[in-house]
A = this chain, B = another copy of it.
Amino acid sequence: QTLQDSSQSLDPQQQQNAAQRILSGNYGKAVTVGGYGEVLYNQPEGDNGELDVQRLVLLVGYKFSEKVQFVTEVEFEHVEEVYIEQAFVNYNVADNINLRAGLMLVPMGIVNEFHEPTTFNGTERPAVDGSIVPSTWREIGVGVTGRFNELNLGYQAYLFNGFASVNGDKYLGGANGLRNGRQKGIQSTINTPNVSAKIDYYGVPGLRLGFAGYFGRTQAEDDVDMIDGADIAISMVGLDARYAYNRFTARGQFIYAGLSDTEDYNTLYGADLGSALQGWYLEGAYNLLPQQNKQKLFAFARYEQYDTHADTDGALVRNDAYNRNDWTLGLSYHITPGVVFKGDYQIRDNAVSGGDVTNRLNFGVGVWF
């Protein structure tokens, strides 16, 4: 008789609540606890630096049966903020078919799904994965995932809740793109579901290719949802690649989001949301240590180009300050699998003539267990 058998008993005389079950000691061993985190130091040129426990995440998983599992991520940001970032049930209905329901990550690009600090180079995540893909982008939904080994294909498909047109007092716009619209599963409003899907191709050794799409509309509140511009349409597509060969690794991605009805939206809310957002990056890295070492020391370079005003509708003039590019040059020193020390320098620019963004030096320590 297992934990779940007894504590989930229908007989009221056998019923225990959660605390009673812990006290009774009649408790399973299928709980998994893990975590990841990163402590960062950003030093912009000529200004004060910033030290921050940017995130510390606890993961808790439970295997109810061979087919049913639950996973949740509790994320603590900047020491004192908390978010449940993932919380979903995975039901392995058949070979190659998993049904999922709950709060889940939207598959778009690399980092939104793979953001553990030991998995990417650079103290900070790529800027494309903040300004174009609003990482960490997660919403409540249902989906199906799986892998067809004979085709070398993995797939994911979801119905997700969409962005809010207006989120409290925050609007979509040029400075933040779609970020402010993320509802994050917090008593989020829904009037029409959005569709998200990704295919990963594994056919070439060492290479993983991803094709992602996201289509839908933002969610407008009841009292405004019939007004023109109360919501906009979003079509986002992403292409990404990761490659590893001996001591060399490379990755890159391209994301394009086309938005409709932004002219009406901007008129209604006095916002400056572009009609297209676009970004891409390429990164190469080389392990400076012998390949058989447990420790790895990657030297890497990444170039990014991204623009939340890749296009605008109506009277809205493109703001060149939103047309950005970054070089990031640095080192990732994995002192043991799961622990990385990072250091890099970022040369940052925008398309404003004579304009510039402050360059900065970054250091960080990241763990994943």
- Using a CB–CB cutoff of 8 Å, the interface residues on chain A facing chain B are 2-5, 7-8, 10-13, 15, 17-19, 21-23, 25, 27-28, 30-37, 39, 41, 47-53, 56-65, 67-74, 76, 78-84, 86-91, 101-103, 105, 113-116, 118-119, 139-140, 161, 183-191, 202, 205-208, 219, 221-222, 225, 242-244, 249, 251, 294, 296, 334-339, 341, 365, 367-369
Nearest B residue to A21, CB-CB = B34
Chain copies in the assembled complex = 3
- Whether A191 contacts B49 in the complex (CB less than 8 A), given A15-B242, A87-B39, comes out as yes
Nearest CB on B from A10, distance (A):
5
Complex Cα gap A30–B27 (Å): 11
What B residues does A31 contact at CB under 8 A?
33-34, 369
The reply to whether A91 and B335 form a contact with Cβ atoms under 8 Å apart is: yes
CB within 8 A of A114: which of B15, B187, B337, B365? B15
Which of B8, B61, B339, B367 has a CB less than 8 Å from the CB of A337? B8
Which residues of the other chain, B, contact A8 by a CB distance below 8 angstroms?
118-119, 334, 337-338, 368
Can you report 28 A-B residue pairs in the complex whose CB atoms are below 8 A from each other?
Answer: A3-B369, A4-B369, A8-B119, A8-B337, A12-B208, A17-B115, A19-B71, A23-B69, A23-B71, A35-B72, A39-B103, A47-B222, A49-B191, A51-B139, A51-B161, A51-B183, A51-B190, A56-B74, A58-B60, A62-B369, A64-B336, A64-B337, A64-B339, A65-B294, A76-B84, A79-B103, A101-B341, A102-B365
Residues of B within 8 A of A39 (CB): 87-88, 101-103, 140, 185
- Chain B residues positioned under 8 Å from A202 (CB to CB): 13
**Secondary structure at chain A's binding surface: helix, strand, loop or mixed?**
strand
**Smallest Cβ distance from A184 to chain B, in angstroms?**
6
Known contacts A48-B191, A56-B74: A186-B18 contact under CB 8 Å: no
Q: A12-B243, A33-B60, A34-B31 are in contact. Are A336 and B84 (CB under 8 A)?
A: no
Q: Are B34 and A22 in contact (CB under 8 A)?
A: yes
Check if B56 sits within 8 Å of A187, measured CB to CB: no
Contacts of A91 in B (CB 8 A): 335
A339: chain B residues within 8 A (beta carbon): 64, 68, 70, 89
Q: Complex: how many Å from CA A76 to CA B28?
A: 23
Ranked nearest first, the 6 interchain pairs of A and B with the lowest CB-CB distance are: A12-B242, A22-B61, A4-B337, A12-B208, A62-B369, A8-B337
In the complex the two chains form, what is the Cα distance from A50 to B368 in whole Å? 34
Please tell me if the beta carbons of B73 and A83 are within 8 angstroms of each other in the complex: no
CA distance A186 to B56 in the complex (A): 12
The contact of A4 among B10, B56, B190, B336, by CB within 8 Å, is: B336
Q: How far is the CA of A221 from the CA of B48 in the complex (A)?
A: 7
How far does the Cβ of A26 sit from chain B's closest Cβ, in whole Å?
A: 10
Q: Which of A34, A186, A202 has the most C-beta atoms of chain B within 10 angstroms of its own C-beta? A: A34
